[in-house]
Amino acid sequence: MGNGTSNRTLNYRFADIHTHPLINMRYRGKDLTGWVKPPWFYNPLRNQIDAIKLKQSGYGICVFCIYAPFRLPPWESYLEEFRKQVTVFKNFVTSCSDFIVHARSSEEVKSALEQGKIAAVLAIEGGHMVEDPSWLEEMKNEGVFYITLVHFIERRIGTTCLSMRKRRRGLKDFGRDVLFEMKRLGIVPDLAHCSEKTMRDVLDIHDGPVIFSHTGARRFSPMHRNIPDDVASEIFRRGGLVGIIYCTYYLKRHNLFGNSRLVVDTAEHFLTLGGENGLCIGSDMDGFIVTPSDLKDISQTPVLVENMEKILGRSVTEKIILDNVMRFLELYFH
């Protein structure tokens, strides 16, 4: 394959439930419909994902996350920002319509895969974008699969893992209202970035599906950002998803280096917690992260798949890279 992608024969389809190419498309006006030079090391201004790499790297499902900063100009609302990013996303998909489809349901995902196309799915990272629960219906109609309830700072839904003084407060009343409406509409809550109290509050009151879209294991990097083992086990028990992030710092304590074996080691640990049918990939590519040395961009996805197959076996690898996500979507993405 040309343009720097791998020459390996691809015999798989790959699902990634957390990516961020919309950041540079929306805020820097970058055209990702063609091939974009990948970063040599860490450079947030170069993209790890573009349409050509998606096509050539075995991707079957890619979740594009809508993200907005915590402060907008006073004359704009988060609903307007949401609409702008949806427009950017739709323009991208339309430009690549011969091999990318905007999928708003599991049936549309399945149809795209059967046609050999990529199912592009929307999600929202940061519940601060939901200023009114009534907005959720429009978000659902545009095909939003999940919403990451909190992000870096304290907002109305709940406390973040970075809120040192307030993390014990957990889910707030407004957060309960949002959760209720999300359940009614079929939007899945994502616990990534939540404080432990917020995580446990959500699990206590929400009896619907739950995911943790992008994380490492606390066994290897004992930071509040990573999912606790008992929360991971509970999500797996409920039939939810836990996505493994590519950020080396989250995969191994105080580590900015290492290769894709870090991802495989993390997968092995989550498998001991009951994750065979709920483990997946949530790479956070283009989320300004430092990735393993052999996963600089998605063109190197075959390297990860090969390493997984060698260590975890083919059947488990197939579950992690696609089957678990498809099962979850068939149950909860309508």
Span 290-308, pLDDT tens digits:
999 999 999 999 999 999 9
pTM comes to: 0.95
Looking at per-residue pLDDT, the higher value among 152 and 105 belongs to 105
Q: Which of 26-30, 42-46, 67-71, 215-219 has the lowest mean pLDDT?
A: 42-46
What residue segments make up the domains of the chain, in order of their start? Answer: 14-332
pLDDT of residue 4 exceeding 70: no
Dump strand ranges (E) for the chain.
Answer: 14-19, 59-66, 100-102, 118-125, 144-148, 188-190, 211-215, 241-244, 279-281
Correct CATH for 14-332 of 3.20.20.140, 3.30.70.20, 3.40.50.720, 1.20.120.1200: 3.20.20.140
Span 73-105, pLDDT tens digits:
888 899 999 999 999 999 999 999 999 999 999
Please measure the distance between the N-terminal and C-terminal CA atoms of the chain and give it in whole angstroms.
35
Contact (Cβ atoms closer than 8 angstroms) between residue 270 and residue 244: yes
Q: Which of 52-61, 68-77, 117-126, 292-301 has the lowest mean pLDDT?
A: 68-77
The per-residue pLDDT for 41 is: 75
Q: CB-based contacts of 97: which residues, under 8 Å, 6+ apart?
A: none
* Type of residue found at 11: N
pLDDT of residue 1 exceeding 50: no
The per-residue pLDDT for 6 is: 44
Kindly state the average pLDDT of the residues 274-292. Answer: 96
* H or E stretch covering 218: none
Span 153-209, pLDDT tens digits:
778 999 999 876 655 789 999 999 999 999 999 999 999 999 999 999 999 999 999
